[in-house]
Amino acid sequence: MQPRLSPSSTSRIGFQPPAIGEEEIAAVVETLRSGWLTTGPRAAELERRFAEYVGARHVLALSSCTAALHLSLLALGVGPGDEVITTPITWPATANVIVHAGATPVFADVRARDLNIDPDHVAALVGERTKAIVPVHLAGQPADLDPLLALGLPLVEDAAHALESVYRGRKVGTISAATCFSLYATKNVAAGEGGLVSTDRDDVADAIGSLRLTRRADGARYDVTTPGHKTNLPDVLASIALPQLAKVELHAARRAAQFALYDEAVDQLDGIEPLVRDPRDVHALHLYVVRIDAERAGASRDVYARELADEGIATSVHFLPVHRLTWYREHFPEQERLPEAERAGEEVLSLPLSPAHSEDDIARVAETLVRVHGRLRTAA
């Protein structure tokens, strides 16, 4: 059955509504009737199915991608006194987990063309205390992993945007010490909440398996060998993710058609450019991000966002630089300025994108963007 599409062209167009159909609804009902509310057979099936999809030896289901990142760092021995290098162009959770592990986040600048972490700057930041690197595959474009791997440090990939991504012929999820995916409501496989971590390392999988849940042994007596967390994925959410995973190719095709509509429209707009997609890789097409040059486009990113909102079109920002957010600015005042990331934080705007949108919806967004661009350029 087709997913429920967005309302008519006269209504507001949401940013990333989930493409939920009768299959997901039926799966939840079946799970509720089974008696399993917490982690059980559906979560185990999701782990098996996703391991097959990615091609990894181990996949573990967790309560969020944040939890997956956190436990992956702990599994690699990251702790107090260590440093972990990451990108500032990401959701703050990527940096938060480094702090939660007791380590210090060190932010590297990004490359202008795709806003992924700059391997050259990472190399310059590596020191005696560096324990790991956390690259982010922004919008679905894989970060440049080979020069990062060449540094000899374990990588924990934040692949929240990159479920379908392939880097130089290798599936994201099979390359590094650990790769973390998201099942959040806006993601390409959306369960509402949840995360998955893939790894080929037995020691990492064993450690995460022990850390994600404090287990109780059968019988009257129990013991604790590891002070675990509470980050397991319940079956109700896994049951939504399973039919979503079955639709991954169908939904990818719809997003590809939407990308094409946006590409055609944006190509004619001076001062508005999409992030570069490397033809050597498979882009997951998770976000359509443009950069708005205020001088050439006639107005700033924030003005464009307000104008589009006034036309009934929701947008988002991916992302404001983490190192300039209040807590990080106050706690790590020695962090150097990162000019590419800071400029991008003023320019990036993400347009609506979801397999729940019709092509008419996306055409309306594109037409409105063209109209707003003309109006703002004329008024400038």
The catalytic site residues sit at 187
Distance CA 321, CA 105 (A): 13
Tokens in use for 271? 């001062």
Distance CA 267, CA 255 (A): 18
List, as one string, the DSSP characters of 141-168.
PPP-HHHHHTTTS-BEEE-TT-TT-EET
- Maximum C-alpha span of the chain: 77
Tokens in use for 264? 């055609």
Distance CA 99, CA 161 (A): 22
Is 182 in contact with 65 (CB distance < 8 Å)?
Answer: yes
3-state secondary structure of 331: helix
Per-residue CA distances from 244 to 36, 237, 248, 255 (Å): 20, 11, 6, 14
Per-residue CA distances from 122 to 4, 94, 110, 242, 323 (Å): 44, 16, 10, 37, 15
Strands of the sheet containing 104-107, edge to edge, are: 104-107, 83-86, 130-134
3-state secondary structure of 307: helix
Tokens in use for 322? 């983490």
Give which of 75, 270, 224, 213 is closest to 154, Cα–Cα: 75
* Cβ neighbours, 10 Å, residue 315: 20
Which DSSP category does 319 fall into? -
Tokens in use for 262? 């946006």
